[in-house]
Structure 1
Amino acid sequence: MLQRKFDQVVKKEFPNAKDAKDTSIHYLGKMQIEHQLDVSKVLMATSVCSDDINVPSTTFFNVLFGPFSMGGLGGLPFVGQTGMTAFAHHVPDEGSAFIFYGPHIGITLDGELGKMYRPRMEETGNSCGALMLALDRFQDEDYVPVVNEPDYQQMKLEESLLPYRAEILGSDNPSKAITEATYRVIDEKIHEHLKTCKEEFNVDKVTLLGGIIINTDYGLDDYFDTRNFEVIDLNTL
């Protein structure tokens, strides 16, 4: 019953979102049936936020090799070209690569975005914490992130979102807007790194599945709002 209520709440904000487990089954099927990929020889990489709440979000983890973790705070692929190259070198012979990526956002049963109830905690907490922190800092019009070693990832995340600052703050729902903007940043970086490192892969196909993870309550299934699914032939990239 509670899962059904959450389904209505999530669909109000993200009409195309699907249960994360159903998402996994659907796209694994497409990989096998439509693209003739052998999932027993697929190495998975993720570029999702390092937040522990994202670990059980999909069943890809139970089927594919990996994951090779590319993402840091907010889901940005902080491993860069070196990380993409390492991932390329780990793909099974005659197999293929799969990259699952995107930011995450919590939602409560009341429909509040950017919040969620975490395991064994009575009060709601931020999700994504890094993005909600960036959003809070962006409220100060004089604030400019300074990239530094002690807090490199957060500062770099905020720096990458600066071009979208006005758009985020001027939206009807800034929590949702900053998540949408982060997806665009991640998607662009994944494609850039893949194109730069394409010669490092010893296989022809790389599958990309990008979108937004929507965190619900502890014990309930998360959702995934797919924004991009593509099987790329590296020979034509």
Structure 2
Amino acid sequence: MKELEALVKAYYPKMKTGSEVTETYLDFLKNEYNSDLSKMLFATSLCCDDINVSTDFRRVLTRPFSMGGLGGLPFSGFTGMVAYAHHIPDGGDAFIFYGPHIGMTDEGKLGKMRRPGQKQLTNSCGALMLALQRLQQENEVYVPINSELDYQQTLLERTVMPYKHRILTSANPEKEITDVAYEEIHKKLNMLIRMSRKEFRCDRIFLLGGVIVNTSPEYEDAVEVRNFEIVDTNELDDAVPSFSILESEAFKNL
């Protein structure tokens, strides 16, 4: 494990194991911030990939609200954030864990991993590595085409497209596109929270963001935490959405 840890730290020097991150931040929430965990509503904006179980917040924080889709982008959007805001227990807090994931082989190669029950390597994050492959094609300029049957992948690719030069000229494009995904998830979540500010039935939103590093099944996955903050819903600036549903009864009762 120590050899693999050194390989992970070469790319993610602040990494901790998933269990370490879980215990550290549950302790913070309970003992440093006096949060009643039984009244806390947990949400995630993580990739829908089945491999993303590195942290164990759900052991303590039940009924997680899932915002994320391919790549970890908060595809539940404004409606999803408002619904989450409305579901927080009386007198409770909000806690959102978010970020992309990336695989690592036993030899330290990023972007691939050996999954449980499989011998061959597969991509992780598969959606981000597919987007990277499409950005790298040289025979033509790739333009994501809308498809209602694959809209999450299309939107993910459109999201990373403005960073094409940054990604392709980096020393490690697999890591770079994952870093871009983290930045976009972070930015979009903060915008959605501001848009939904008046809908939150709590004073505090705890945000924990980072990159999950998936390793082989016999090792524990890692997390490099990149953000931990407390958002005071009473002090947020408004970002007013231009949506006609705001005054509807269905919206008020999401």
Instruction: Name the TM-score class by shorter chain.
Output: over 0.9
| Structure 1 counterpart of 2:146 | 147
Alignment map for 1:27-42 (pairs within 5 Å): 27-42=25-40
| Structure 1 counterpart of 2:12 | 14
| Structure 2 counterpart of 1:43 | 41
Q: Distance in 2 between matches of 1:33 and 1:147?
A: 47
* Moved beyond 4 Å, runs of 4+: none
Alpha-carbon deviation of 1:4?
Answer: 2.2
Alpha-carbon deviation of 1:163?
Answer: 1.2
Q: Percent sequence identity over matched residues?
A: 51
Q: Distance in 1 between matches of 2:224 and 2:211?
A: 5
Alignment map for 1:98-109 (pairs within 5 Å): 98-109=95-106
SS in 2 for 1:149: coil
| Structure 2 counterpart of 1:205 | 204
Unaligned 5+ segments in structure 2 are 237-254
| Structure 1 counterpart of 2:60 | 63
Q: Normalising by structure 2, report the TM-score.
A: 0.90
Alpha-carbon deviation of 1:219?
Answer: 3.6
| Structure 2 counterpart of 1:92 | 89
Unaligned 5+ segments in structure 1 are none
Tell me the alpha carbon deviations over residues 51-94 of structure 1, each in whole angstroms, 9 at most, x when there is no partner. 0000x211101011221000000000000000001111111110
SS in 2 for 1:46: strand
Q: Distance in 2 between matches of 1:5 and 1:84?
A: 41
Alpha-carbon deviation of 1:33?
Answer: 2.2
Q: What amino acid is the match of 1:135?
A: L
SS in 2 for 1:137: helix
Deviates more, 1:144-153 or 1:74-83: 144-153
Q: Distance in 1 between matches of 2:50 and 2:3?
A: 24
SS in 1 for 2:116: coil
Q: Distance in 2 between matches of 1:65 and 1:230?
A: 21
Q: Distance in 1 between matches of 2:107 and 2:137?
A: 28
Alignment map for 1:174-185 (pairs within 5 Å): 174-185=173-184
Contact 1:5–1:109, Cα closer than 8 Å, also in 2: no
SS in 2 for 1:49: coil
Q: Distance in 2 between matches of 1:66 and 1:219?
A: 28
| Structure 2 counterpart of 1:119 | 116
Contact 1:139–1:169, Cα closer than 8 Å, also in 2: yes
Alpha-carbon deviation of 1:34?
Answer: 2.1
Tell me the alpha carbon deviations over residues 108-159 of structure 1, each in whole angstroms, 9 at most, x when there is no partner. 1101000100011111100000000000000125001122211100000000
SS in 1 for 2:208: strand
Q: What amino acid is the match of 1:113?
A: L
SS in 1 for 2:63: strand
| Structure 1 counterpart of 2:248 | none
Q: Distance in 2 between matches of 1:163 and 1:20?
A: 31
| Structure 1 counterpart of 2:126 | 129
| Structure 2 counterpart of 1:156 | 155
SS in 2 for 1:53: coil
Of the two, which has the highest radius of gyration? 2
Q: What amino acid is the match of 2:127?
A: A
RMSD of equivalent CA atoms: 0.9
Q: What amino acid is the match of 1:161?
A: V
SS in 2 for 1:78: coil
| Structure 2 counterpart of 1:52 | 50
Q: Distance in 1 between matches of 2:146 and 2:120?
A: 32
SS in 2 for 1:65: coil
